[in-house]
Structures are given as structure tokens and as C-alpha cells.
């Protein structure tokens, strides 16, 4: 291929990539379950975009990659009805990494990609690095060594590979294969909607900040 043609193609591709670099406040169309919906870019991080679907409440906000986003097509016919609603009851299509926590077999909380929901209300939120925020303030995180942080203080440890939760050097619990133990008694489960073991860091943060009987704070 002629060198000049290659150069022209390079600049065309580069310009297209820059044109698709969306920023906060941009109005876009986002693909959801096979259809496109109008949305707004709220923020971006690590080549992902946190979007709000126009006309829907914030519980539908989510992180998406650029493959699901396209510029607004003014001539496109938008769907008249929300395809995830049936008989006025919202049917939620969960991310495969979303999970639920049950205590004694009863639903205790939903842990989605960006938030924790308890009794139908948002109790905490996660950023892209799985740091937990409560009431808009950073509450804690789990580091690569399994240390559980509350603010700037380590409050407990998780022995990666063994599933043991320790506080002050003493074992108080266990999280392994989706089962949560408080001392030697099964407390509950933390499993994805596909019945696989849930995200360890988010489960530990949930137990730390929202389950007082574990006494991790």
C-alpha cells in the first residue's frame, strides 16, 4: 500500500479515536440489552464512563465501556417503552459480578458494581477501585495484602488464600466459597446471581461497616 495512503489512514483513525473521547456532561446514546437509550456522561476513569440514563432514576446509573456508547443520533427512533419493565414492575438485568448477601437464608443486602443496597436504599457507594464511600465520604478499602482499612486505620485483616478474617491477631470469621462464618457458626452467604463466590473486597467492606456483630470497627 502506498505510504501516503497509510499516513492518511493513520490520521483518520486517530481523529476518530479523539472524537470518541467523551467528557463529563456529553449527551450520548448508550446500548442496554440490545437497544440504545439517551444518556449523559457523569464522569470517566480508566477508559470507562459512568452514565445516567435520561428519564430514569439514579439506581440505573452504571459504568460502561466505550463499545456501548455512540454519539446521539437525532433521527433514531427511540423505544417508546422501557424494555426492562413488565406490568409496571422493574425487572433488573444484573451484571454477572453483582451479588447478594443473605443472613440465615434471608436477603440482607444487594451489592452492585457501584453501590450497596439495604432495605431498598443505598447504604454505600463504590468507586472504580472498589473504595467504599458512605454519605459521600471515603469510608474504607481493602489493600493488596488483605488489610481492611477504615479511614486511615487498619481495623482487621483477611488472610488471602485461607479465607480467615482476623482482628487484633485473633480469628473472628471466615469467608470462603461464598460462605460467611462468624467464629465457628455459619452467618450467611455472599454469592453472585450465577451462584459463584462474590467479590471478596466488597464483601469484607460490607461486613466491616454494615454488620455490627462482626465488631470489625
pLDDT at 18: 46
Residues 13 and 110 both lie in one domain: no
Assigned domain for 159 exists? yes
Residue 170 β-bridge partners: 167
Residues in the chain: 217
**Global pTM value:** 0.58
pLDDT at 205: 94
Residues 109 and 205 both lie in one domain: yes
DSSP output for 102-161: EETTEEEEEE-SSEEEETTEEEEEE-TT--EEETTEEEEEE-TT-EEEETTEEEEEEETT
Assigned domain for 168 exists? yes
Assigned domain for 94 exists? no
pLDDT at 105: 87
Residues 108 and 184 both lie in one domain: yes
Residues 53 and 147 both lie in one domain: no
Residues 8 and 112 both lie in one domain: no
Which backbone phi and psi does 182 adopt, to 5 degrees? -105, 110
Assigned domain for 68 exists? yes
Contact present, 128 and 63 (Cβ < 8 Å)? yes
Segments of the chain with pLDDT less than 50: 18-19, 76-93
pLDDT at 86: 39
Specify the long-range contacts of residues 144-147, CB closer than 8 Å, at least 24 apart: none
User: How many domains, the chain?
Assistant: 2
Residues 203 and 116 both lie in one domain: yes
List the domain range (segments joined by +) for residue 157: 99-214
Amino acid at each position: 500500500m502506498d505510504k501516503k495512503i497509510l499516513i492518511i489512514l493513520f490520521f483518520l483513525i486517530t481523529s476518530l479515536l479523539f472524537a470518541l473521547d467523551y467528557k463529563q456532561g456529553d449527551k450520548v446514546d448508550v446500548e442496554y440489552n440490545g437497544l440504545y437509550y439517551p444518556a449523559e456522561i457523569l464522569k470517566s476513569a480508566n477508559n470507562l464512563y459512568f452514565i445516567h440514563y435520561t428519564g430514569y432514576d439514579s439506581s440505573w446509573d452504571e459504568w460502561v465501556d466505550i463499545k456501548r456508547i455512540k454519539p446521539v443520533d437525532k433521527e433514531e427512533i427511540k423505544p417508546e417503552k422501557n424494555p426492562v419493565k413488565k406490568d409496571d414492575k422493574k425487572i433488573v438485568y444484573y451484571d454477572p459480578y453483582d451479588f447478594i448477601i443473605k443472613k440465615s437464608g434471608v436477603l440482607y443486602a444487594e451489592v452492585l458494581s457501584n453501590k450497596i443496597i439495604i432495605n431498598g436504599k443505598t447504604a454505600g457507594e463504590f468507586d472504580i477501585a472498589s473504595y467504599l464511600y458512605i454519605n459521600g465520604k471515603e469510608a474504607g478499602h481493602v489493600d493488596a495484602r488483605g488489610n481492611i482499612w477504615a479511614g486511615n486505620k487498619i481495623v482487621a485483616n483477611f488472610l488471602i488464600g485461607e479465607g480467615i478474617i482476623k482482628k487484633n491477631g485473633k480469628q473472628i470469621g471466615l469467608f470462603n466459597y461464598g460462605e460467611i462464618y462468624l467464629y465457628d457458626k455459619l452467618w450467611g452467604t455472599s454469592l453472585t446471581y450465577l451462584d459463584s463466590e462474590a467479590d471478596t473486597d466488597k464483601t469484607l467492606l460490607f461486613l466491616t461497616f454494615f454488620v455490627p456483630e462482626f465488631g470489625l470497627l
